Structures are given as structure tokens and as C-alpha cells.
Amino acid sequence: MLFKLRYQVIVFDEFQHALTAPTSKGGGHVTDTVKTLMQDSSWPIWVIAAGVPQVQRLIKNDKWDQMSRRAPVLHIDSLEFATSEDQGDVESVIEVLETLAEVAGLKVEIALEREFIHRVIHGGASRWGMTIQLIKLAIESVLFSEEYDRDDFRPELRYEHFVAGYSLLSNCSKNTNVFLSEEWWKIEREVTPEKKLITVNGPSAAAEKRARKKAAAR
């Protein structure tokens, strides 16, 4: 079928799930199948398997150790904060943010300073995909807002939209929203299989209770 359709390259995203799926033929069956695709002399296929670091089991499951020389591994490092000596990934994140906002027809009304971009990176768990998803959710909070169809709508991407976008991405309270918390760097989260962020470590329950009382008093 691949030959008939003239496919030469196949990209499998989230390939780690294929490696953990139950199979009666053993853990190396998926690896052997991919290897067969690559070695077919009549129509060899280029295979790109993308996913979390555990995707490298595709290579480790080869009992003959043939995949190691056929499958170069490309690591995408975690996003890094800027330091006094280095810009880290701040400029790259700004470029992505501005590009996505422009495509959506929005003007960025946020001072794209280091602290804000660091909040974006931290909110995305220092992962490129999650950080881009956070930016997209912030943009969607504008495009799907009630104001969008009003005559006085302003096509602007503002700080509060990132507050809303992060709330959509994570299971957070106001006190554990990285765009609202003063000590946002202390908030730690992990990613669920559903691509949502859940709280691992954040302000204590007592601190959240005090924050709610303070907000109610206002």
C-alpha cells in the first residue's frame, strides 16, 4: 500500500504509545516491523518516530542491535531561562509568540520582558510543545471571547489572556496560576496523558485559604 501510494516518509507522533501497547508477539515486534519497513529493498521507507524520551525504546527493543546504527536520535532540549551571560530561549519564544499572534490577527499588548517570557516557559513546563500550546490557548481566549463579535472589540493579546490560557491548560487555582502568583517559579507541575498540567508542588492549602479570604475581603 505504501508503494502504491508512493509514500516514502512516515511520521509517527507520540510513538511511545505504540511501544507500550499490549502485543502477544513481545516488545520487540514493533521495532522489527519498523526495521522491515526501512529495509524493504523494493520500496524502503524513511520513518520518523517522535515522542517523549522513552521513544528510544524503539532502538533498545532490538535484540540484534541493528537499529542503533540505522536510527539517529535527535534530542530537543528543554527551554531555558535567560541568564546574565546568555539569552537562553527567550528570543525564540518571543518570535513564536509574535508570529502566532500575527497569524491570528492580534496585536501583542504585553511588554515581552524576561520575567513574562520566563513565566511562559515555566507555564509550559519548559517544553516546546506545551509552551506553544499555552500561547495558542491564550490566543484562543481572545478569538472565542464574548467581545469578539462586538463592534468595540479590540484585536489585542493582553496579559489577562495568558492568565486565562494557563487556566485552560492546567488544573490550577488563582493562587497556583503562574501568571498570577508572585512566587510563580515555585509552582511545579507534571503532564498527564491527556496533555494537561496538574499540580505537583505549589503554595500550601493554608496559603490558598488565606488568599481566598483576602480576595473575599476586597
| Alpha-carbon span 187 to 202, nearest angstrom | 5
pLDDT in tens, 100-140: 999 999 999 999 999 999 999 999 999 999 999 999 999 99
Average pLDDT value over all residues in the chain: 89
| Alpha-carbon span 40 to 7, nearest angstrom | 13
Closest CA to 49 of 9, 15, 7: 15
pLDDT score for 70 = 87
Residue spans of the domains in the chain: they are 9-70, 90-217
Please give the grid coordinates belonging to residue 191.
Answer: 503532564
Single pTM value for the model:
0.75
Residue 142 reports pLDDT greater than 90: yes
| Alpha-carbon span 188 to 170, nearest angstrom | 11
